[in-house]
Structures are given as structure tokens and as C-alpha cells.
Structure 1
Amino acid sequence: MHPKDLSISDFTYELPDDRIAKHPLPERDKSKLLVFKSGKTVEDVYANIADHLPEDALLVFNNTKVVEARLMFQKSTGAQIEVFCLEPDDRYPDITTVMLQQGKVYYKCLIGGASKWKHGMKLEKRIQSAEGEIVLVAAIAERLSDCFVIELEWQPVELSFAEMLHLAGMIPLPPYLHRDVEEKDKERYQTIYAKNDGSVAAPTAGLHFTNKVFERLRNKNIQPAYVTLHVGAGTFKPVKAATMDEHEMHAEFIDVNQETLRQLIAKAEAIIVAVGTTSLRTIESLYWMGVKLLQQPSLSIEDIVIHQWDPYEIKDDVAPKAALQALLDWMVSNDMQRLVTKTQILIAPGYDLRVAKGIITNFHQPNSTLLLLVAAIIGDEWKNIYQHALDNDFRFLSYGDGCLLWK
């Protein structure tokens, strides 16, 4: 069956609200870990994850950093308007560029209370900080079909957009937590290795990793590799279409350097494990970019973008190492230290992992593309695993427990 014909109703389960972790555990690596391999299930905790990974494996982490994407404005009438920063306007080539802009940006946003924001009205927000007073002004630049382009200007102009958000905005917790942001969320809704500003949601599989866990991994010569995929609000988007053919995956920015590609190539015939669905989508997308280049070496950066159905419609009999090498060679020939592009890849039943042998991931929402991804890796066993987790007091979703699933 082509994934276009999949019905999302086959990928649901009953998730009681009290099984959703509303807060993180006091210690990151004390979260429970369910390990599934060769039909067998084992329970442990993340502190011991190295025991369940082979020596010399490569773990791929997403080092994106969550930005304080929620900006609250108050009108003179007292009415509140929320500006949720989604992604850069099309005038910017990538998220990194826009995060470094000073004084003014155009950004695609969702508006809470848009009916209260009349045409031509400017909203102002003043924040007292250690750097002095920050003045932020917002105006609607354009209305799109599913969001707004907002012009944001601020003083002092020397502040970058990322710095301004850090001072003026709030961490965008997932809506299913049904609570306000607390002080500890600023630290706990980031991985300890978060580096590149740009996400509106955390790559949650990585939230469980601590320095002690990394030390135990090093003792088994298990190496980390880092990619960047900036998680968009589409990660929370439920599938409302009857079949996947009618659902459009959200496109997300990825950023990968030559050194990471060399790490992937070196381990392509060994064991590579993705930490999180975002890391998995990134490294599998890299494979398909390489396949495209093997078929047409002269493709441009725009041509190698991976679209939703590409993996199911591009013919390939290419070894992972060859595909990744083709992508690296293309980067070198184009004097490109970093590959910054987009992927819209949908990993669903019918997809066969090319690069990764397994995934470390949290437990996902019913009726979600993330659950489709899990089912692509382990088939219908996902139902038994999720039922086991429900029956054995595992905590679900972003701040919850997780699993290590082998292909």
C-alpha cells in the first residue's frame, strides 16, 4: 500500500489526560526507557541507555534551540493579543539568518485575538531588563491564508532577533500541557546540547540526556553527531484528513555540516541511531538528497529539497554510504561547508529506513504523523508497545518517558 492511502484512524489509541506528563521529572535521566528489539520488550531508565546500545555506534542528535516564540501584547483597552512566531518570512534564506537580524524582522506568525487587531494598528510592548528598557513594536504586514506576516521592530537596535525574543518572549510549551510556562521550563524544555536558535518545540527525545549519560556513552566509544532541524509548529498539527494523501506535511529547515556527513558516511555500514524523530527525518532526507544527486549531479540547492512523497516515488537501489558520499562531494564541489535547506519528508508505513537502524523517541500523540513514523519502523508492534507503556505507568508526550526502538 502506498502511504497516500493510509487512514489515520488506524493509528490511534486511547490516551487519558492523566498519562500526559505535565512536568518533567526532577532528574532528566531518571525517565523510564522501554527497549524493543527482535520482538522483546525490556524496561530500564535513560541513565542506563548505554547498556542497550552496541559499542562504536553513532547517535545523531538535533542541536536546535527552542526560542521564546510567544509574544504577548496588551492594548490600551486591556485586551491581550498573542503573536506566535512560526517561521521566517520568505525574504530570508534560512532561520539562522533571520535570528541574527538586528532592529527589525518580518516573520510569519499566528495571532491569538486577531479580530482585536485592527488594520493599521501598531502594538507596543516595553520590557525592563538588565540591558535596560526594550521597546518592541508589531504591525501586520500581510495576511496569508493560514497565518500573518508581522513586522517586528525593536529598540535597542543592536539586539539580534534571537536576543530580543529571549528577553521579550515566552517558551512555547506544547498546547496539550494545558498550563502556563514556569521558570524551570526555560531550562528543562531545552536539551543540554541545544545550540542553534530556531525551534518552536523541543526535540524532546534529547531532553533525557545528561552529562553522565554522555560519559557512559563515551566509555563504550559511542559517538555523537549533531544535525539541526528547526522544529515548526506543524509538529503539533493533528492529521484531520481521512487519508494521508489529503494531509500536507510541514516543511522544516535543516542545517548539516560536512563533518557530520563524514561521520555518517564512516558509520553508514555500522550502527546509526537517531535521537528523536527530527534527527531521523534529517538523516533520511540527506540520503534522498544524495540519491537525487546521483541521478542528476548538476542539481541546485532548490532542486534537492525533499518533498512529502519523494521517498516513495524516486527509484533507488543506492547504498546509504554512496548516497551520503554523493551529497558530500556535491557540497565540496560547491564550496559549501554547511547544507541549509528544507525537508518535508513523511516517514510512514511503507518506508524502509535507509540510514538509521533504530530510534530513541518519546511516546507520541494519537492520530499524528509521529506515530506513523514509529509504525514505519516497527510495524503493528507499536500497538503492543504503547499498550505496555499505558499498562506500566509510563509517562507520555513531551515531558514523558521514552523508548529505544530497533528496526
Structure 2
Amino acid sequence: MTDLNSIHAYDYQLPEELIASVPADRRDASRLLVVDRATQSISHREFVDLPKLLDPGDLLVLNNTRVVPARIAGVRTSTGGKWEGLFLRETAEGHWRLIGQTRGHLKPGETLTLSPLNPSESGELVLQLVSKCDGGEWIAAPQSDESTIDLLSRFGTIPLPHYMQREAEETDYERYQTLYAEIPGAVAAPTAGLHFTQEVMESLTKLGVSKAHVTLHVGLGTFRPVKVDQLSEHEMHAEWCEIGAETIGRIEQTKAAQKRVVAIGTTSVRTLESAAKEQELQPFVGETNLFIRPPYEFQVVDALLTNFHLPKSTLLVLVSTFAGRELIQRAYEEAIRERYRFFSYGDAMLIL
């Protein structure tokens, strides 16, 4: 019998050529694997078919976080040695929480110097390292009066996932954001939403499918590898999220009408379920470290649109918990056999 608490139950072999390193020509040109939990069936559609698969009165819940240019690079001021890092979030004191790598060991009090990405711009940014935290993270104080968003726009680039094995290009500044991205703070895109075009949105509205928003600033917690065998021993890093009273009201109306709450992406799932942890759905603002794994019982989500996730990842565990490990295993085998594109810029899966 399969041990659903073991991370090895969520492994699979993916041919490297199926990893999508660039986006499709059109956002909605993606394929859509439809997984029906009631019938245990799997079918193949296109993303533009999404309106045909939903019902009037269903509610889409979208994560409106916006990816910031979080990848930064510079030199150690004292030695000139190269340093590369990733901005994670801003603290209440206006400091930056970040991770980075360089030769040798950094020390508190040391400074890093960043140069503008645009060679025509003048000025540098100095980051003073304040303290080291768990997990190799640092707290750094930017020596500038400019806002964090303005500084990152001058000194940072879009942080594409490592498996794309390339630097961000001009097109990524548009395509690695959802159409409805609004609130800056994520270091990775909520990728299920990348498929939506204005045309698909309008078709859904005409059908009578409504939309509501939550915010979860995607951070490293979502992507950190599971380094323990037993899922019960894995500690999720916290990510900031918010769900407001208006969205709560729409969910309650949808449930009362016996229609479906359709989460767009695993980040929307985690936000919705974090707001319902006390068995009652309430507005929620703060950090969540919710790790959805067997035998979790979902309180809010009725259907899920998601991309294909990395082997042995917490996201694959979440999806498998929602649909059942055996059904998701079959779905992934089918997707590989049919040459679907995987991960952030890849194709999508709708679980009904």
C-alpha cells in the first residue's frame, strides 16, 4: 500500500524536452487536460474551451499578486567579488529579506553594491547586511530613500525559475504576469493564471461565470524542495496572503446557489483554505504556512485550474490531495505520453 505521507509517493520521470522554457505564442493557445474526479476520467481540450467546461453561477477565484523584478546582482563592496541574489520581501522596518550566493562567507555589516540595469542610468544601490536568518536568508538595509518597487525596477530583473535555464528577456516582463496582476510582491508568477486572455475572460462573463480576487505573494515557501522523507516533518515557509470581505461574500453566495468555487492556481487554494482553517470562512490578512497534504479535507474549493508541477514538490502533493494520488498519477502519465508542456510556461489541467 502506498504511503501517502512519503514524498516518494509524489515522484515521476519527466523528459527534459517537455519543460517549457518559453511561453506559447498566445496565452490561451495552451492545451488543457481535464480530470473529472466523479467519473475518474481524463480528456484533452484546449484552454479556449474553458468556458464550455464551467457553468453559469460558478465563481473563479484569481490571485492578483504581481511579480516584482526580484532577481538582483552586484559585487561585494570590500572585495569586488560577484554576488547574485533574490529579493524575497520587504520587512515592516523597510529592510529587505533576501537570499544570495557568492564566493566566501558574508558577514553582518558588510555591504553589496548594485549597478543599474540600464547602462545610461547613473547611481548605484548599496545594501548593508544587517543579520543572517534561518535557511540562508539575510536581512539587508538598502541605503536609499527610494521605494522598494522603484529600486527593484532599476536594479532587478524578472526572476524566471531555474529550470528554464535562461535569463529574462523583454517579452517575459509581460508574459510572466497574469492579465489581472495588480498588487506587487511575488517572486514567482501564479502560473495557472498566465493562460487567460481578454477574450477568454469575456466569454466567461457572457456565460455567467463570475470572478473574485485574493492575494498571495508567491515566495520561496511554495518552491523549496522537500528534504525529508515524511511530509509531516516538512515545514512550509510562510507567505503573505489576503482575502477580503467582498470575496468572502461572493463565495457564500456561490455556495448557497450550489455552484462551484473554482480556484485558479494552487496559491488561490492555499489562500482560500487558510481563511477557512477555523471551519468558518472569514476575511484573512497575514502569513500562511498551510501545507495541504493527506488527509486534508477541503473546506472551500470545488474545482481547480492548475499547471503541471515539479516531481516531489509541495504543489504536486496539494493537487494529489485534492484529486487523489492515483488519478493525478494517471493524469501526469497521460500528459507525458501526449507531449504536454510542463511547469510555469507549460499547459494547464482542470480538475473538476
TM-score, normalising length: structure 1: 0.80
Aligned partner of 1:216 among 167, 191, 203: 203
Contact 1:128–1:134 at 8 Å: present in 2 too? no
Distance of aligned partners of 1:143 and 1:235 in 2 relative to their CA distance in 1, 3 Å threshold:
same
How many Å apart are 1:116 and its aligned residue?
6.0
Contact 1:174–1:236 at 8 Å: present in 2 too? no
2:31 maps to 1:32 = yes
How many Å apart are 1:119 and its aligned residue?
5.3
2:16 maps to 1:14 = no
- C-alpha deviations, 1:359-403, integer Å up to 9, x for none? 000000110111111111111101110000000010001110011
2:136 maps to 1:149 = no
How many Å apart are 1:83 and its aligned residue?
2.7
Query: What is the aligned partner in structure 1 of residue 307 from structure 2?
Result: 362
Contact 1:138–1:153 at 8 Å: present in 2 too? yes
- Corresponding pairs, count: 344
Aligned AA (1:82): E
Query: What is the aligned partner in structure 2 of residue 161 from structure 1?
Result: 148
Task: Give distance in 2, aligned partners of 1:388 and 1:209.
Answer: 24
2:253 maps to 1:266 = yes
How many Å apart are 1:126 and its aligned residue?
3.6
Aligned AA (2:110): M
- Where structure 2 has 5 or more consecutive residues not aligned to the other structure, the ranges are none
Task: Give distance in 2, aligned partners of 1:267 and 1:254.
Answer: 22
Distance of aligned partners of 1:246 and 1:378 in 2 relative to their CA distance in 1, 3 Å threshold:
same
2:348 maps to 1:402 = yes
Aligned partner of 2:275 among 286, 304, 311: 286
Contact 2:32–2:46 at 8 Å: present in 1 too? yes
SS, match of residue 54 in structure 1: coil
Task: Give distance in 2, aligned partners of 1:360 and 1:120.
Answer: 45
Contact 2:30–2:346 at 8 Å: present in 1 too? yes
Distance of aligned partners of 1:344 and 1:79 in 2 relative to their CA distance in 1, 3 Å threshold:
same
Task: Give distance in 1, aligned partners of 2:211 and 2:120.
Answer: 36
Query: What is the aligned partner in structure 2 of residue 297 from structure 1?
Result: none
2:332 maps to 1:386 = yes
Aligned partner of 2:286 among 341, 344, 364: 341
2:213 maps to 1:230 = no
Query: What is the aligned partner in structure 1 of residue 86 from structure 2?
Result: 84
Contact 1:239–1:368 at 8 Å: present in 2 too? yes
Aligned AA (1:48): D
SS, match of residue 115 in structure 1: coil
RMSD in angstroms over aligned alpha carbons? 2.1
2:112 maps to 1:123 = yes
- Where structure 1 has 5 or more consecutive residues not aligned to the other structure, the ranges are 93-104, 292-322, 329-338
How many Å apart are 1:238 and its aligned residue?
1.5
Aligned AA (2:331): I
How many Å apart are 1:198 and its aligned residue?
0.6
SS, match of residue 364 in structure 1: coil
2:75 maps to 1:74 = yes
Task: Give distance in 1, aligned partners of 2:5 and 2:312.
Answer: 12
Aligned partner of 2:167 among 175, 180, 183: 180
Query: What is the aligned partner in structure 2 of residue 58 from structure 1?
Result: 59
- C-alpha deviations, 1:145-202, integer Å up to 9, x for none? 3211111122xx3x32112112210111111111111111111111011000111110
Task: Give distance in 2, aligned partners of 1:274 and 1:381.
Answer: 19
Distance of aligned partners of 1:179 and 1:129 in 2 relative to their CA distance in 1, 3 Å threshold:
closer
SS, match of residue 269 in structure 2: helix
Task: Give distance in 2, aligned partners of 1:246 and 1:205.
Answer: 28
Task: Give distance in 1, aligned partners of 2:328 and 2:221.
Answer: 23
How many Å apart are 1:19 and its aligned residue?
1.0
TM-score, normalising length: structure 2: 0.92
